[in-house]
Structure 1
C-alpha cells in the first residue's frame, strides 16, 4: 500500500490540540510516551486537567522552556517536565495503585496497531532500555476509564495501523475508545470504527483505502 499523500494531514500540534480540547473538565489524565506528551502544551486555558505520570507525579505542567529544565524532574519517558501549583510527588507503587484502582479518567497512548474491537498493540520492540517491553501501558490500558490513542494512520512503509485484527502481541483487549491519527478522529464502537473528523482534502474513499478495517462515517 502506498504511503503517498494527496491531502494535508493533521500536524502533530493539531493532533495534540484536538486531544486536549476533548478532555473533560476535572479529569485525571495520563499521557503516554511519544506523541501523547504534546497534549500537555495544549490544555485549554482555564480548564482543570490534572496530568499524571506513572513514575510518581500528579500535576505535571507544560514542557519546560530553554534553560528551565530540572534534570531531576522527568516523566515516565525520561523527558523533562514542569509542575503546576499544588503538584505532588510520590512512590511509583502509589502511582500504579491509582492506575489499577481505576482513579485515572483517561490515558492517551501511542500504538503500533489498533483492532476494530478496540484491541491495542503498543509493546516496545526495540533493543534499547528506554521503554522496555510492555512497560506501564498494560496497567494503564486496563485501569484507565478511557483509553485514547495518538498515532500516524499508517506505518512508514504505508501499512495501515487500524486493522481488523492486530498482528502484534496485545497490550490489552477491547481497551481503546478513540483514535486520533494524522488523518482522522475515529471512535471505537460496538459496531467498529466510526469516523468523526477527517484531515482537510481527504476523501472517505482514500481514508478507507488507508485503513484495513471497514469504516463508518458520522462526521461532526
Structure 2
C-alpha cells in the first residue's frame, strides 16, 4: 500500500500551524493548499510576487495575469497583494516564510536537498526559487514519492545530484512514511499500513532508525 498524492498532502497539512506564512513548491506540494483544515488560516506566498494567494479559479473565470510560480491560475484572497518578484525573494531570504514545502529528487541523511537537476539529459535543470526557500524558510518540509518510477531510492546516504542546499530539510513525507532528519540520520515516525520496517529499509539507501512508538499512516481526509 502507498499513499495517494492527496493523502500525502493531507498529512503535510496536519503539520502546518494556524497563522503560518507558507510557500508551496511546484508539483506535489501545491496539493497541500486543497486539504488544509478550513478552520485554519494559512497565508500562501508565491515567489513570483503574491502574498495571500487563494485557490484556483473556476474554469473560464481566471485572470491570465494572476498565476503562481508554476504558471497555474490562482486567485487572491481579501487582504492579499501582488508585487515585484524581488520583494517576494526578500521575504524568502529575510526569514519571513515560516514553512516551505518542496519536492525532491533526493534527500540525504544529513538533510541535504537536491531538487533542481538530475542525470537525465532530457529533463532541463530548473532552479527557480528553491535555493532561496531552502535556506530562508524557518522550516523546510519535503513531499515526495519514496522511490523513483523505476524503483531507485530518493532517500540516500549522500546525494549524487547537484545540491539545492545542504543540511536544510527538517522532515520528509513520502507515500510510505514520515521521517524526521536528525543529527543521527533519518528517524521514521510514521509508516504506512501494510509496510514493515524491513521493507521500508529495502526501499531506502540511507540507514533508518524507527521511533519507539511508530504510528500508522492513514486514511483519506
TM-score norm. by structure 1 comes to 0.92
Q: Give the Cα separation in 2 of the matches to 1:63 and 1:200.
A: 32
Deviation at 1:127, TM superposition (A): 5.9
**Map of 1:194 onto structure 2:** 187
Indicate the RMSD between aligned Cα atoms, in angstroms.
1.4
Structure 1 segments unaligned to the other structure (5+ residues): 1-7
Encode CA deviations 1:5-47: one digit per residue, 9 max, x unaligned.
Answer: xxx1010000111111110111100000000011111111111
**Map of 2:14 onto structure 1:** 21
**Map of 1:167 onto structure 2:** 160
Contact 1:116 1:162 in 2 (8 A): yes
**Correspondences of 1:1-220 after superposition (within 5 Å):** 8-124=1-117, 133-218=126-211, 219-220=214-215
Q: Give the Cα separation in 2 of the matches to 1:36 and 1:63.
A: 14
Deviation at 1:216, TM superposition (A): 1.1
Deviation at 1:128, TM superposition (A): 7.0
TM-score norm. by structure 2 comes to 0.91
Contact 2:56 2:73 in 1 (8 A): yes
Structure 2 segments unaligned to the other structure (5+ residues): 216-221
Deviation at 1:163, TM superposition (A): 0.2
Q: Give the Cα separation in 1 of the matches to 2:58 and 2:109.
A: 39
**Map of 2:219 onto structure 1:** none
